[in-house]
């Protein structure tokens, strides 16, 4: 009987200069939610795309007081940044097994 796997929601909060946590290792199907509870807008500008959408690069804009979520569907290592504030994040998506 196969082990049952449940998707997890991971939360990343922004500070004015950092993502917390900046590094996550997750599984395919997990949800990642960014929460902006600081004083400035942020972006998550990816150099690739861990979701099922067709965009070559995933781009997310996060206003003050808002949250944004994605579901990761592709194995790989994904770097993103907020170029306005010199912030960097990394999401590693483990391969399905
Ligand atoms: Cu920012």
For residue range 14-51, list pLDDT tens digits in order.
999 999 999 999 999 999 999 999 999 999 999 999 99
Determine the distance separating the centroid of ligand 1 and the alpha carbon of 38, expressed in angstroms.
10
Structure token pair of residue 28: 């395919």
Cα of 16 to ligand 1 centre, how many Å? 6
Max CA-CA distance within the chain? 49
User: How far, in Å, is the centroid of ligand 1 from the Cα of 27?
Assistant: 26
Tens digit of each residue's pLDDT (9 = 90 or more) over 48-88: 999 988 899 999 999 999 999 999 999 999 999 999 999 99
Ligand 1 centroid, distance to 64 Cα (angstroms): 10
Residue among 12, 19, 13, 10 nearest 82 (CA) = 19
The CATH label, of 3.50.50.60, 2.60.40.420, 3.40.50.970, 1.20.810.10, for the domain at 9-94 is: 2.60.40.420
What is the 39 CA–ligand 1 centroid distance (Å)?
10
pTM of the model: 0.91
Closest CA to 96 of 75, 76, 78, 81: 75
What are 79's two structure tokens? 């770097």
């Amino acid at each position: 009987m196969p082990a049952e796997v449940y998707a997890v929601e991971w939360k990343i909060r922004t500070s004015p200069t950092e993502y917390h946590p900046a590094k996550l290792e997750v599984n395919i199907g997990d949800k990642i939610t960014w929460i902006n509870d600081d004083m400035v807008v942020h972006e998550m500008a990816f150099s690739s795309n861990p979701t099922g959408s067709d965009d070559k690069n995933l781009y997310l804009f996060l206003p003050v007081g808002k949250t944004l979520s994605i579901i990761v569907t592709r194995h790989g290592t994904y770097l993103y940044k907020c170029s306005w504030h010199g912030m960097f994040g990394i999401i590693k998506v483990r391969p399905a097994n």
